Amino acid sequence: MRRQPLLTFVLALTAIACGGSSHHHSTTEPPADEAASPTAEEARAFVARVNEDLRRLAVNQQRAEWIKSTYITHDTEIVAARANEALMAYTSQAIADARRFDGLELDEDTARQLHLLTISQSLPAPNDPAKRRRLAEIAAQLEGLYGRGKVCSDPADPETCRDLQDLSNVLAESRDYDELLEAWNGWRTIATPMRPMYQEFVSLGNEGAREIGFDDLGELWRAGYDMSPGEFDAEVERLWEQVAPLYEQLHCYVRAKLSEHYGAERVPPQGPIPAHLLGNMWAQSWENVYPLVEPYETEGDIDVTRALERNGYSSRDMVRMGESFFTSLGLAPLPDTFWERSMFDKPADRDVVCHASAWDVEFDNDLRIKMCIQINEEDFITIHHELGHNYYYRYYYELPILYQSGAHDGFHEGIGDTLALSVTPSYLQEIGVLQNVQRSDEAVINLQMKEALAKIAFLPFGKMIDQWRWRVFSGDIGPDEYNQGWWDLRQRYQGIAAPNERTEAMFDPGAKFHVPGNTPYTRYFLAHILQFQFHRALCREAGFEGPLHECSIHGSTEAGAKLQAMLAMGASRPWPDALEAISGERAMDASALVEYFAPLLEWIQEQNEGRTCGW
């Protein structure tokens, strides 16, 4: 379970770990004679039993998580925390028990599953039951604080409250500096109370990680990539260097445009960009400022949001359209239970975790998504993202639980996005969403700009979150410098700056879901690179020969077969094998991303001539 993908993962992971509820042999105290000299046969039996136990505990935990996430209350938080506690207790014990097979000659499958067991939790708990309980409760409460977060001008009057969706809509649509600032500041107030809890969380999580043999929680997270944590660190740097020049060009161009709009006093032409002006609560993707930076205004913007609204689609219609992309590749339709059990819309009368996620609650094709869908382009793309997770689950659910994960977590995050790259204007015209799509060089640049604002702008953000967390877990960034460390990295990687003073009384990292939700984030950085690599491979498979940015694999069963083959491997093989299955390549590589954006890069470089880039 654990390495499950997604958010769900979060859950799972977060809390994950199994525990059990209940009955059953508590794991694994071996009979005395076995303890003396364990055999490979015993190791195989051990792994089989762990898979069985994990299934029981994880299903229980996922159900509790689902209920909590779709109905946040004091009680559902506690029930979910208890289920997590049980999973954590079981998993840590199983990891300890598995040590007796250390050094034994094992078959590949058994060895791999034992390895996956060790790295399966994103939040391992200490063995001390009181500490474990405390950790499970803090984890649930942190996520609860985020999910319930609201900003009220009159706390006594719910009518005056705004939640993340309301505030995000301000960030997306307003062009008024002060109004933006108010929404940006407002959301960050919900994170302040998380600060002492997060400090305790870090210390307990680290203790759990040390007990299962890692230096700290960050080292455990970096151990999930079929290479040493140090090698992984270097791998992330290598990929970042491949794409950083593109980001710097985009940053330079966008900064100049924002400076024109807001004035050079507010957006200094050579400094970092104020973090609240980029159309998104975390400045993680910038497509909402497209109107301010549009390359060719006469070309007519392709406004998918307007088209979706005009066609009167419901949230369910949008999910159906997403599914139809997958089935066009020859993949199976979603099960009926998906349509019965998913949450597509934000309930009017209760708090839920609106952050989108995809689930297989029973690890048995019990697929669901949980979203608060708004009828707009961003959510249309997110639907594809979530369905990518569901289709991964769909094709590996028959594997042992320990293999029910992505080849690595970046693969899981990249599947839906890969398909979404094929949601081109021509495809949208084909399915009747858009009419009269224009084709010209100018239209290409416009479209690429919009995509770059989503994909290239994301890259440094995707990297910096865990740069911060890895340092926090290692103690490099201490509790008295959480915010300072955060903003230093924001500036260094993203070239953005806080629009006002941030103090150590605040806890800005907590205003981003994955921090209180304890979801590792480097996966998204990797996914943003891998999705172009997957896209290039599938386009080749589909027989497409033009420039990469024009390809859509819609309708290609050849591409679908390749994709399916990789999904069905789950985590059963080291990830380079999975990458090879889909692309013939064994290393992650950003050259497909660079190739995809080649027309835009050339154009932006011309625009930036005479400008001083960087910050």
> Of 197 and 371, which has the nearer Cβ to ligand X8Z?
371
Number of H helices, E strands in the chain: 26, 6
Which of Zn ion, ligand X8Z, none lies near 304, with the C-beta cut-off 5 to 8 A by kind? none
| Distance in angstroms (rounded) separating the CA atoms of residues 164 and 184 | 10
DSSP structural state of residue 491? I
Q: Cβ neighbours of residue 610 under 8 Å, at least 6 residues apart?
A: none
Give the count of residues interacting with Zn ion (CB under 5 A): 2
Question: What's the min distance (Å) between Cβ of 144 and ligand X8Z?
Answer: 18
The burial class, CB within 10 Å (0-12 / 13-18 / 19+), for 365 is: middle
| Residue number of the CB atom closest to ligand X8Z | 356
Which of Zn ion, ligand X8Z, none lies near 61, with the C-beta cut-off 5 to 8 A by kind? none
Q: Cβ neighbours of residue 297 under 8 Å, at least 6 residues apart?
A: none
Which of ligand X8Z, Zn ion, none lies near 201, with the C-beta cut-off 5 to 8 A by kind? none
Question: What's the min distance (Å) between Cβ of 457 and Zn ion?
Answer: 18
The helix/strand/coil state of 517 is coil
Place of tokens 């991964």: 392
- Hey, which residues between 412 and 471 contact Zn ion (CB under 5 A)? 413
- Hey, which residues between 299 and 318 contact Zn ion (CB under 5 A)? none
Nearest to 365 by CA among 324, 336, 393, 401: 393
| Distance in angstroms (rounded) separating the CA atoms of residues 174 and 171 | 6
Q: Tell me the per-residue interface mask from 348 to 387 with ligand X8Z, x by CB under 6 A, - otherwise.
A: --------xx------------------------x--x--
| Distance in angstroms (rounded) separating the CA atoms of residues 104 and 20 | 28
CB neighbourhood size of 327 (10 A): 12
Question: What's the min distance (Å) between Cβ of 108 and ligand X8Z?
Answer: 30
Contact status: 353 vs Zn ion (CB under 5 A): no
Give the count of residues interacting with ligand X8Z (CB under 6 A): 8
Nearest to 272 by CA among 287, 251, 288: 251
Which of ligand X8Z, Zn ion, none lies near 524, with the C-beta cut-off 5 to 8 A by kind? ligand X8Z
Tokens representing 294?
């549009």
Question: What's the min distance (Å) between Cβ of 557 and Zn ion?
Answer: 25
Given 1, 6, 81, 419, the residue binding ligand X8Z (CB under 6 A): 6
Given 6, 11, 12, 548, the residue binding Zn ion (CB under 5 A): 6
Question: What's the min distance (Å) between Cβ of 352 and ligand X8Z?
Answer: 15
Question: What's the min distance (Å) between Cβ of 284 and ligand X8Z?
Answer: 6
**Cβ distance 94 to 28 under 8 Å?**
yes
| Distance in angstroms (rounded) separating the CA atoms of residues 222 and 171 | 33
- Hey, which residues between 271 and 290 contact ligand X8Z (CB under 6 A)? 284
Question: What's the min distance (Å) between Cβ of 18 and Zn ion?
Answer: 22
Of 95-103, 171-179, 308-316, 405-413, the segment contacting Zn ion by CB under 5 A is 405-413
> Of 6 and 579, which has the nearer Cβ to Zn ion?
6
> Of 18 and 281, which has the nearer Cβ to ligand X8Z?
281
- Residue 571 has, within 13 A of its CA and on its CB side, a CA count of 30
> Of 65 and 137, which has the nearer Cβ to ligand X8Z?
65
Question: What's the min distance (Å) between Cβ of 369 and ligand X8Z?
Answer: 10
Which of Zn ion, ligand X8Z, none lies near 356, with the C-beta cut-off 5 to 8 A by kind? ligand X8Z
Of 129-137, 410-418, 426-434, 465-473, the segment contacting Zn ion by CB under 5 A is 410-418
DSSP structural state of residue 332? P
Of 175-183, 291-299, 407-415, 580-588, the segment contacting Zn ion by CB under 5 A is 407-415
Question: Residue ranges of the alpha helices (H) in 311-440?
Answer: 315-328, 336-341, 377-396, 409-420, 425-430
> Of 356 and 604, which has the nearer Cβ to ligand X8Z?
356
Contact status: 434 vs ligand X8Z (CB under 6 A): no
| Distance in angstroms (rounded) separating the CA atoms of residues 499 and 489 | 15
| Distance in angstroms (rounded) separating the CA atoms of residues 232 and 108 | 22
Tokens representing 591?
């050259």
**Cβ distance 338 to 390 under 8 Å?**
yes
**Cβ distance 30 to 45 under 8 Å?**
no
> What is the β-pairing status of strands 273-274 and 161-163?
unpaired
Question: What's the min distance (Å) between Cβ of 476 and Zn ion?
Answer: 28
> Of 126 and 517, which has the nearer Cβ to Zn ion?
517
Contact status: 524 vs ligand X8Z (CB under 6 A): yes
Q: Tell me the per-residue interface mask from 186 to 225 with ligand X8Z, x by CB under 6 A, - otherwise.
A: ----------------------------------------
SS3 string of 422-475?
CCCHHHHHHCCCCCCCCCCHHHHHHHHHHHHHHHCCHHHHHHHHHHHHHHHHHC
> Of 60 and 519, which has the nearer Cβ to ligand X8Z?
519
Residues that bind ligand X8Z (CB under 6 A): 6-7, 284, 356-357, 382, 385, 524
Residues that bind Zn ion (CB under 5 A): 6, 413
